[in-house]
Structure 1
Amino acid sequence: MDSFEELIGLKIDEVDLDGSDDFIFSVGYKYKNCGQRYPAFKLKLCDLDYFNFIEFADLFRYEAIFLIWYDIDSRLITDLEIYHLSNDFDVLFRDYYYIFSAVRDGKAHLLREGDTKYLGASRLGEKVEQPNNKKLANKRELVLKKKYLSKILKEISLKCSY
């Protein structure tokens, strides 16, 4: 990958993120009519395996992540951010435990993204078996929700306004 200083102004398609460490993520954003930026997508962390649930420590192996922010329309990279997830581990852990408990108790089919604050179990189309229940549940992936990414993006804007 290019040196970080050289990324600003490049198109996101010109940056090779394949094979990069799993603490580097690209996040697209759009603009509201008022000019405020907001994330265009949720940020996928991993697929959720109901029978081999990932440990919190493995999901968040790093205390910080490196975010490459780019404008969806122009595809240009505009911001680079090292964000310390460790500041939010208490909320992320509560969300993780809620999702884990639902899966463990055979209630994965009842999970909704609105049940958690920052970490979501985003629904995918295909249905699969779940532990401790014969009812099928949608496959899911663990994501950082748009609400959380908006919080991070607002913090970047506040830093830039000083």
Structure 2
Amino acid sequence: MAFFSRLRAERAATRELGEGVWRRAHDRFQRSLDRVFQVVEGIADDQVYNLLVKEANEMADLLPAVRQLCCMAHRITPSNDEHIPQSTAGVHRSLTKSANDLATTAQVIAMMRMQAEAGEPIDIESVRHRAQLVKEDVGRAMQLLADSE
């Protein structure tokens, strides 16, 4: 049964996001978010885990907004290839930057995890800073999309 529901979800995503740059922008953000949670799930220290899962959850809350942005951008400037539409290039750039910043956040969390496992003190501020960059990137993409409509 799960196979058919996954197939329906895949078809709906193709219909809403296309197969071009908007689909890739969404998928890139989702893969980066998955990586954040993979790293967080491996943390044994409950105190460190609780601090980091809060930040990870805040970034996960951005996924529906990213999907909506990509769907709206695909409606405005459809893409089924690798060509980035000129009128929404800034939106794409901001979404790509958000996914890259999110992947960097996963790296920062991984380094923090290693510090915690080594018994060294950790500072959550670097993760918060990276998470703030991701939020700003998504916000910038929203503003650019609103301006291009």
Range class of TM-score, shorter chain: 0.3 to 0.5
Structure richer in strand, relative to its length: 1
Larger relative contact order (CA 8 Å, sep ≥ 6)? 2
